[in-house]
Amino acid sequence: MESSCPSTPRWNLDRPFLTGRFHQEIKGTSRFAADAKGFSLDSCSSGLENPIGCYDAAVQELIVIDDLLFALVGIEGRYISIKRVHGKDDAVTFQVDASMDLALQEFARRIFPLCESFLLIDQFVESRSQFKNGLVNHAFAAALRALLLDYQAMVAQLEHQFRLGRLSIQGLWFYCQPMMGSMQALSTVIQKASANNYAGSAVLNLLQSQAKAMAGDNAVRSLLEKMTQSASNAYLSILERWIYEGVIDDPYGEFFIAENKSLQKESLTQDYEAKYWRERYSLKEDIPSFLANIAGIILTTGKYLNVMRECGHNVQVPVSENSKLMTFGSNHHYLECVKAAYDFASGELLNLIKEKYDLIGKLRSIKHYLLLDQGDFLVHFMDIAREVLLKKHDEISVEKVQSLLDLALRTTAAAADPCHEDLTCCVERSSVLKGLSTLKDLDIRNVSDSNDLEEAISITGLETFSLSYKIRWPLSIVISRKALTKYQLIFRFLFHCKHVERQLCGAWQLHQGVRALNTRGTAISRSSLLCRSMLRFINSLLHYLTFEVLEPNWHVMHGRLQTAKSIDEVIQHHDFFLDKCLRECLLLLPELLKKVGKLKSLCLQYAAATQWLISSSVDIPKLEEQSDGSLGSERSKPLKSRNPSQAQKVMTRNSAVTDSILKFEREFNAELQSLRPILSSSSQAEPYLTHLAQWILGVGNDQ
The enclosing H or E element of 379 equals helix 376-389
Backbone phi, psi, residue 281, to 5°? -125, 130
Residue 112 — pLDDT band, cuts 50, 70, 90? Answer: very high
Task: Using pLDDT thresholds of 50, 70 and 90, give the confidence band for residue 175.
Answer: very high
What confidence tens digit (pLDDT) does each residue in 641-684 have?
445 555 455 556 667 777 788 888 888 888 888 887 887 777 77
Distances (CA, A) of 604 to 586, 591, 599, 667: 20, 20, 9, 13
Does the structure show a pLDDT above 90 at 307?
no
CA 449 to chain centroid, in Å, comes to: 33
Helix (H) or strand (E) holding 295: helix 295-310
Q: Residues 422-442: what's their mean pLDDT?
A: 76
Q: What is the largest CA-CA distance in the chain?
A: 158
Q: What is the pLDDT averaged over residues 171-189?
A: 92
Stretch among 22-36, 150-164, 406-420, 602-616 having the lowest mean pLDDT: 22-36
- Name every residue whose Cβ is closer than 8 Å to that of residue 177 and which is 6 or more positions away in sequence: none
Angle formed at CA 237 by CA 236 and CA 241, multiple of 5 degrees: 115
- Higher-confidence position of 680 and 424: 424
| One-letter amino acid for residue 317 of the chain | V
492 vs 645, residue with greater confidence:
492
Provide, rounded to the nearest whole percent, the portion of the chain with pLDDT above 90.
Answer: 22
Closest among 14, 28, 40 to 76, alpha carbons compared: 28
Least Cα distance to 613 among 662, 684, 577 occurs for: 662
The whole-number pLDDT of residue 474 equals 85
Q: What local confidence, expressed as pLDDT, does residue 447 receive? A: 44
Q: For residue 167, name the pLDDT band (cuts at 50, 70, 90).
A: very high
**H/E segment holding residue 684:** helix 644-685
Which of 332, 243, 244, 242 shows the shortest CA–CA distance to 290? 332
Average of pLDDT values for 360-387? 85
User: In terms of pLDDT, which residue wins out, 539 or 278?
Assistant: 539
How much is the pLDDT for 140?
Answer: 93
Q: Confidence band (pLDDT; 50, 70, 90) for 47?
A: very low
CB atoms under 10 Å from CB of 346, counted, come to 20
10 Å Cβ neighbour count for 522? 23
What's the predicted TM-score (pTM) here?
A: 0.75
The C-alpha atoms of residue 671 and residue 278 are separated, in whole angstroms, by 45
DSSP-assigned states of every residue in 307-336: HHHHTT--------GGG------TT-HHHH
Q: How many residues does the chain have?
A: 703
pLDDT tens string 247-291: 888 888 889 998 888 877 766 666 556 677 777 888 988 888 888
Q: Using CA atoms, how far apart are residues 401 and 466, in angstroms rounded to an integer?
A: 11
Q: Which helix (H) or strand (E) holds 80?
A: strand 80-84
The full DSSP string for 528-565 is HHHHHHHHHHHHHHHHIIIIIIIHHHHHHHHHHHHH--
If you average pLDDT over every residue of the chain, what do you get? 79
HSE-up of residue 96 (Cα within 13 Å, Cβ side): 25
Residue 12 DSSP label: H
Closest CA to 152 of 121, 128, 129, 194: 121
pLDDT at 89 over 90: no
Mean pLDDT is lowest, of 52-61, 112-121, 524-533, 539-548, for 524-533
Q: Residue 387 — pLDDT band, cuts 50, 70, 90?
A: confident
Q: Using 50, 70 and 90 to split pLDDT, how confident is the model at 472?
A: confident
Mean local confidence (pLDDT), 85-98: 75
Cα 151 to Cα 171: distance, rounded to the nearest angstrom: 17
| DSSP codes of every residue in 185-220 | HHHHHHHHHHHHT--THHHHHHHHHHHHHTTT-HHH
Confidence (pLDDT) at 107: 92
* Least trusted range by pLDDT, from 167-176, 295-304, 327-336: 327-336
Angle between helices 134-163 and 201-213 (to 10 degrees): 50
In the prediction, which pLDDT does 397 show?
A: 86
Check pLDDT > 90 for residue 436: no
pLDDT at position 699: 56
pLDDT of residue 276: 73
Model confidence at 55, pLDDT cuts 50, 70, 90, reads confident
Question: Is pLDDT of 572 > 90?
Answer: yes
pLDDT tens digits along 593-610: 888 889 998 998 888 888
**CB 299, CB 465: distance < 8 Å:** no
CA 12 vs CA 18, 126, 129, 131: distances in Å: 7, 11, 12, 13
| 403, 420, 494, 563 from 407: Cα distances, Å | 6, 12, 21, 39
- Asked if residue 539 has pLDDT above 80, the reply is yes
pLDDT of residue 94: 87
pLDDT at 391: 85
DSSP 419-476: TGGGEEEEE-SS-HHHHGGG-TTS-------TTHHHHHHH-BHHHHEEEEE---TTGG
Do 236 and 326 contact (CB within 8 A), yes or no? yes
The stretch 541-558 carries a mean pLDDT of: 92
> What would the DSSP string read from start to end of 107-157?
HHHHHHHHHHHHHHHHHHHHHHTSGGGHHHHHHHHHHHHHHHHHHHHHHHH
- Decide: 399 and 393 in contact? Cβ < 8 Å: no
pLDDT at position 142: 93
Q: 467, 446, 538, 468: which is closest to 499 by C-alpha? A: 538
Specify the range with the lowest mean pLDDT, choosing from 38-42, 236-240, 311-315, 371-375: 38-42
